[in-house]
């Protein structure tokens, strides 16, 4: 018998001063049985950083060749493809051919450096790609905030993120490994 996804609900309030984006989002997140709280919360962080009314969670782990988050324009064309973790460089290049913008939120401590050393030469030429690293301290703090019903506030100003769940708060910055263009 196949295991079912665990459903999480998140009330996410985003104040992105850098982009001038201010909105509240009621989100339903399906956590695949093999997914950790840490990975799920990095997906939620990616949503907060790139929040848009058309951004939605993809099929992710339950479906190969699918992004963790996706944003489509009004015609259904792929605007943004978002992956978290350390994706295969062939998959990233394929995504760059399909979407106008591709974002990777890499996490995993030292594994990120090793992964980036391996794939950098093949991904540096991808003009639609941005790769950011989420620190181990940030992913651990996010995982500690995971609960079936969450209320999170994320404020982004000058690249600094402040995240609170009304009980705990932390701040972090993501390191940009590669920027679009």
Kindly state the average pLDDT of the residues 22-27.
98
pLDDT in the model for residue 4: 85
> CA–CA separation, 51 vs 62, rounded Å?
23
pLDDT in the model for residue 3: 73
Kindly state the average pLDDT of the residues 118-140.
97
pLDDT in the model for residue 120: 97
CATH topology of domain 6-178: Restriction endonuclease-like alpha-beta roll fold (3.10.640)
Cα torsion 124, 39, 155, 56 to 10°: value is: 80
> CA–CA separation, 142 vs 149, rounded Å?
14
pLDDT in the model for residue 24: 98
Q: What is the pLDDT of residues 55-108, one digit of tens each?
A: 999 875 555 678 999 999 999 999 999 999 999 999 999 999 999 999 999 999
> Average per-residue pLDDT in the chain?
94
pLDDT band at 2 (very low <50, low <70, confident <90, very high): low
pLDDT in the model for residue 144: 96
Residue partners of 168: CB distance under 8 A and separation at least 6: 141, 144, 145
* Residue boundaries of the structural domains of the chain: 6-178
- For residue 31 the two structure tokens come to 């956590």
* Percentage above 90 pLDDT, the chain: 88
pLDDT at residue 156 tops 80: yes
Whether the CB-CB separation of 80 and 100 falls below 8 Å is answered with yes
pLDDT in the model for residue 61: 55
Beta strands per DSSP E along 17-159: 21-31, 55-57, 69-72, 78-84, 101-106, 129-133, 149-157
> CA–CA separation, 53 vs 176, rounded Å?
24
pLDDT band at 137 (very low <50, low <70, confident <90, very high): very high
CA 5 to centroid of chain Cα atoms: 19
3-state secondary structure of 95: helix
φ, ψ (nearest 5 deg) of residue 24: -110, 140
Please name every residue paired with 102 in a beta bridge, in sequence order, or none if there are none: 81, 129
pLDDT in the model for residue 65: 74
CA 140 to centroid of chain Cα atoms: 15
**8, containing H or E segment:** strand 6-16
């Amino acid at each position: 018998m196949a295991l079912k996804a665990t459903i999480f609900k998140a009330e996410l309030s985003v104040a992105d001063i850098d982009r001038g984006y201010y909105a509240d989002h009621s989100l339903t997140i399906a956590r695949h049985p093999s997914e950790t709280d840490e990975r799920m919360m990095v997906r939620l962080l990616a949503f907060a950083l790139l929040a848009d009314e058309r951004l939605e969670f993809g099929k992710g782990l339950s479906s190969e060749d699918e992004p963790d988050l996706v944003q489509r324009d009004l015609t259904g064309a792929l605007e943004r493809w978002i992956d978290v973790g350390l994706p295969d460089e062939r998959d990233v290049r394929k995504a760059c051919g399909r979407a106008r913008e591709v974002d990777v939120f890499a996490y995993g401590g030292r594994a990120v450096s090793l992964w980036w050393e391996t794939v950098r030469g093949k991904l540096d030429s991808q003009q639609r790609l941005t790769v950011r690293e989420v620190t181990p301290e940030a992913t651990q703090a996010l995982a500690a905030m995971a609960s079936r019903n969450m209320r999170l506030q994320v404020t982004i100003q000058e690249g600094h993120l402040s995240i609170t769940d009304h009980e705990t708060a932390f701040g972090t910055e993501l390191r940009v490994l590669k920027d679009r263009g």
